[in-house]
Structure 1
């Protein structure tokens, strides 16, 4: 009975070596493009530099990305956004105290900051400032990203209020918008001054604000 089954109808589970290589090449291009864009800005980013860093041909690049704009969109969607989401994802865990999570994230931002990073600035903030007013595709992506980030923060603050962890007097949506402004503003101040201490001052003041959100009934 089993001999009558056509092997042609069975879809291979493992991708072919050719597809694996193509996927690896695409990822290699994305990672090199991210570094180039972060260092030079999107409009000044050189496809030639990206090709040189990756060793891939121009044909291979255009096979995966029809133009520089498509490459920039993919860098934002597949590199920049996931990096940010990974850091903030723990806010969604209802077991975690939102204030404690946000304080920890602030401490991590300070710990991970380097002089090179402070000079280059935040990848998201850089792109928003450079491209939001001149490219609809980028602008739409930035808005979606910030709307989702604001929603995530707002829901965490509201959950903290319902659990008696955060004071009732604040508006969760307003707090969320303020925290995003603090995050982006700290990155801008650091980049403008090339001073890690200025960046740390901004983050630490935000952390002080967060501590003031704690409900007096905690504990």
Structure 2
């Protein structure tokens, strides 16, 4: 099942041909993208074509718009407040979810939730990512009801060798994937990462989880 966030992103991408002028990017609702989105995309799309920047800004703005609408509606996944165990929201939570969050680039903070109800998945992944990112707000990479989720990183080495030490590389972008098993999710994530790759970078699997 496709999540509302991913549907919002697809709808935003369909709006690309409607941009009035080259270099002019409008967020959801015809508003300019936020400064947070601009900073995030400038760090992520360094040296890429203007259209890549437009795609990044539209994706980021779609995600912000979705979360803003969820906050206005008071939904638990946006506010970070889950319903009490056994409360009346239990039945409304529906299928179990896996979510992945990442810190602002080029930080390496990353977190994937356990496969639980949506409010708990969002709350725990956001908090875990927040701690790993030096107490900076994280953004949603993916939400899925599939059994497995994976995140790959496009990185550029800062020295002769890239190791697991984050001081040896810089993160430029992420690729995400989901599927019924680890191999499928990781394969999708690596292909998504490769599609966003910049010259002089490599894609490496960063994290995966199955519920």
Q: Which has the higher contact order (CA 8 A, sep 6+)?
A: 1
TM-score in terms of structure 1 length: 0.21
Structure number with larger C-alpha Rg: 1
Higher helix share: 1
TM-score in terms of structure 2 length: 0.22
Higher strand share: 2
